[in-house]
Amino acid sequence: MNYNINKGIGRTVEFKGLKAQYLFIFAGGLLGTLTLVMIMYMAGVNSYICLLLGSGGASLIVWQTFSLNKKYGEHGLMKIGARKRHPRYIICRKPLHRYLKFTSKSNGL
């Protein structure tokens, strides 16, 4: 099979409809699920439970990643993160006359 990952210079990386940071979320989630299943299997948990949790977790990650990609788009998660860092409003607690007062600079040091 041949998969096209990048479609041109200056364009974002895209794989099967997932763009940019969603690829990293997708790969990291699946890797984390695989690691969790391996640890559970080595710890002695029943293999059917491991398979059930692994397949359920992987399908949840696939579903959520594609839904986030569809809902927010290529730069949506970065915009949400930037919005959380900005203040909603600026509070000015000085009296108004302190803003309007003009002080001249003197030439002396």
**Exposed/middle/buried for residue 36 (C-beta within 10 Å: 0-12, 13-18, 19+):** middle
**pLDDT tens digits for the chain (109 residues)?**
776 665 666 677 777 777 778 888 889 999 999 999 999 999 999 999 999 999 999 999 999 988 888 888 777 778 888 888 888 887 777 777 777 766 677 665 5
| DSSP-derived 3-state class of residue 15 | strand
Whole-structure pTM value: 0.61
